[in-house]
Amino acid sequence: MNIKPSPKYSFLPKQFGVVVCNRYPELMEKFIESIRATHDQLPSIVVVRDRNDASYGKDVEVIDGRLPFVFARNSNLGIQYFADRDIFLCNDDIEIMQKEFFPQLHAIGCAYPRCGLMSPLIKGGVGNELQDYYKAEQMPEDAPKEWVVKTTLHFPCILLKRRMIHRIGLLDENFIGYGFEDVDYCIRAFRGGFTSMVTRQLYVKHGNGETGLDRGKNYSVSFAKEPKETLSMQYFQKKYQYDFRPTGNNARVIDGGKR
């Protein structure tokens, strides 16, 4: 499915677009308002909505995702929409807290030529056991401004370089629902010659800003503790021969983490 941008936008390779997969309109409205409050000029935003008909103002583009819901597939629709731009891929349950957040994070990411993915710090519940997830409130003051992670990154808010996307492709849509498509993408980025990085200069609020998330059970926090493997877990296990049991020997699986 080819998605073409609105004629009112003109895209340049070094510009960026913000892609948000939206299942919960009430959370999305809060997220958009946080961007308006912190940016003098609203970035180009496309919302890929799922099972709702919400709109968020004339300056926010909205396209319909495909059913059944697959986070990777809806994300890819937004990535394709923005043609040659770098991408900020965001969840609808985050809030922006700092002035000019997106231009700042983009500038930091562009300062590192080998960087394919750049994450801010996260204030709130994040990650699974295969990911490095750095919480804003736990970061020591003497930590480096930016660093390359040893494993993979969680995707509540992530910068994806277009040069990397061109080389390694889109997210793997075989991950049903959500979960582990972010781990997979970081591994593929490493194998394609790119690094995954974190900056401590910026952060986003995820969920309610506490260890857990606002709604329901956060299956991404610790998949290994689930009594039944999710479909995404099953696919990841098959793709990488990963053993989710606590006794599993997985030292060789995340070769992307041997940096």
The angle subtended at Cα 156 by Cα 200 and Cα 103, nearest 5°, is: 55
- H or E segment and range at residue 74: helix 71-81
* Position 10 confidence tier, pLDDT thresholds 50, 70, 90: very low
Distances (CA, A) of 242 to 152, 183, 249: 15, 12, 8
* Position 12 confidence tier, pLDDT thresholds 50, 70, 90: very low
Segment 216-232 mean pLDDT: 55
Segment 201-227 mean pLDDT: 58
pLDDT higher at 22 or 172:
172
Digit-coded pLDDT (tens) for 184-197: 999 999 999 999 99
Is the pLDDT at 244 greater than 90? The verdict is no
Residue 11 has φ and ψ, to the nearest 5°, of -105, 140
Segment 96-107 mean pLDDT: 95
Going along the chain from its start, the domains and CATH numbers come out as 16-207+222-257 (3.90.550.10)
Is the pLDDT at 257 greater than 70? The verdict is no
Closest of 199, 185, 182, 203 to residue 128, by C-alpha: 182
Digit-coded pLDDT (tens) for 130-169: 776 666 667 777 888 999 988 888 899 999 999 999 999 9
Place of tokens 């490095």: 132
* Position 228 confidence tier, pLDDT thresholds 50, 70, 90: low
Distance of CA 140 to the CA centre of its chain: 24
* Tokens coding 26: 């009430």
Rounded CA separation 138/126 (Å): 13
Share of residues in the chain with pLDDT > 90 (%): 49
Place of tokens 């495909």: 66
Q: In this predicted structure, what is the pLDDT of residue 214?
A: 35
Q: In this predicted structure, what is the pLDDT of residue 237?
A: 85
